[in-house]
């Protein structure tokens, strides 16, 4: 895979001031919530350069934290992260369209972490009419699926009495895996799954950027998602259309991701 952009922390941290894009919508991943963007330090990094928190983006539309929002604001999408991709994408799209109706002249930037990047991409594909002046940035997202989803599915298909012991001892995380089997099936890239369908649909004209986890030695990917799967250019409908930014780190969000986003937006 050709890596066209390698971003290091010193270069990114030099980006200053609010970016040109005005409505930044952050989409969390699997087994997570809107607060992950705050806990990780990403929102704080954005705030330090002039971005203003807009509030939660819910199925009923935006819940602003202050009046007069609309310019250079950060919105946090709250989604049922265990639900199938299409369910999450439909909820997200409803909220995004509500924002667009409120501020029709403002560019929209969707940023999705992990499975949230796939959800955000599906929302763009499902939008009718297409959302104008849009950018999609995905962070460590399994666009071609992940073997970890298949492994998680296997872990929930244990024979009795092992399954009984897992139910008793597995805790909340194991119960979440069991509830998530439709989503995990999709993220395992099962033939005919929603993810398989999505990757062969026409994608709207938009700016596409893949933030791919990597290392100083040149290896790409992380413990949860292989590097090639994080690359939007590997999606059949998007070959050659996405910009790549390789950032060292683990799968989870980190404060540096806020700086990376600022660098991308400043150069767009």
Task: Report the CATH number at residue 135.
Answer: 3.40.50.1820
Query: Could you tell me whether strands 52-58 and 61-64 are parallel, antiparallel, or unpaired per DSSP bridges?
Result: antiparallel
Tell me how many domains the chain contains.
1
Q: Is the dihedral of CA 66, 71, 73, 77 positive or negative?
A: positive
The one-digit pLDDT tens for each residue of the chain (268 residues) are 443 334 433 333 334 444 344 899 999 999 999 999 999 999 999 999 999 999 999 776 665 554 445 468 999 999 999 999 999 999 999 999 998 988 888 999 999 999 999 999 999 999 999 999 999 999 999 999 999 999 988 887 754 444 545 554 456 666 788 889 999 999 998 889 999 999 999 999 999 999 999 976 667 999 999 999 999 999 999 999 999 999 999 999 999 999 999 999 998 8
Predicted pLDDT at 146: 97
How far is C-alpha 261 from the geometric centre of its chain's CA atoms? 12
The crossing angle, in degrees rounded to 10, of helices 171-179 and 162-169 is: 120
Question: Is the distance from CB of 262 to CB of 46 less than 8 angstroms?
Answer: yes
| 151: in domain | no
Residue with tokens 């939008």: 127
Question: Is the distance from CB of 262 to CB of 207 less than 8 angstroms?
Answer: no
DSSP three-state, residue 16: coil
Predicted pLDDT at 162: 43
- In angstroms, the CA 243 to CA 113 distance is 16
Predicted pLDDT at 126: 97
| 164: in domain | no
Predicted pLDDT at 185: 95
Supply the range of the domain harboring residue 236.
9-146+204-266
- In angstroms, the CA 136 to CA 48 distance is 22
Number of H helices, E strands in the chain: 12, 8
Q: Which DSSP letter does residue 202 get?
A: P
| 2: in domain | no
Predicted pLDDT at 64: 55
Phi, psi dihedral angles at 15 (to 5 degrees): -70, 125
| 96: in domain | yes
How far is C-alpha 228 from the geometric centre of its chain's CA atoms? 16
Query: Considering the entire predicted model, what is its pTM?
Result: 0.87
| 185: in domain | no
Residues found in the chain: 268
| 188: in domain | no
């Amino acid at each position: 895979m050709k890596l066209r952009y390698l971003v290091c922390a010193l270069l990114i941290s030099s980006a200053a001031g609010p970016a040109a894009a005005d409505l930044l919508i952050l989409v969390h991943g699997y087994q997570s919530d809107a607060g992950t963007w705050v806990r990780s330090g990403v929102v704080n990094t954005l705030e330090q350069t002039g971005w203003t928190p807009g509030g939660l983006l819910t199925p009923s539309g935006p819940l602003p934290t202050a009046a007069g929002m609309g310019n250079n604001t950060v919105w946090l999408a709250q989604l049922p992260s265990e639900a199938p991709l299409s369910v999450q994408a439909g909820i997200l799209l409803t909220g995004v369209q509500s924002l667009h109706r409120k501020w029709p002249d403002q560019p929209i930037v969707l940023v999705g972490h992990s499975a949230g990047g796939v959800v955000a991409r599906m929302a763009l594909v499902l939008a009718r009419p297409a959302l104008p002046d849009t950018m999609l940035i995905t962070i460590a997202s399994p666009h071609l699926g992940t073997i970890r989803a298949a492994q998680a599915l296997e872990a929930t298909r244990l024979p009795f009495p092992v399954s009984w012991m897992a139910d008793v001892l597995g805790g909340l995380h194991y119960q979440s895996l069991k509830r998530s089997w439709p989503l995990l099936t999709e993220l395992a890239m099962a033939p005919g799954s929603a993810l398989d369908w999505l990757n062969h649909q026409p994608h709207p004209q938009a700016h596409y950027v893949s933030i791919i986890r990597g290392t100083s030695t040149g290896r790409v990917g992380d413990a949860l998602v292989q590097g090639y799967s994080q690359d939007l250019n590997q999606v059949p409908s998007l070959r050659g259309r996405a910009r790549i930014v390789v950032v060292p780190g683990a799968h989870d969000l980190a404060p540096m991701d806020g700086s990376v986003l600022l660098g991308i937006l400043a150069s767009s």
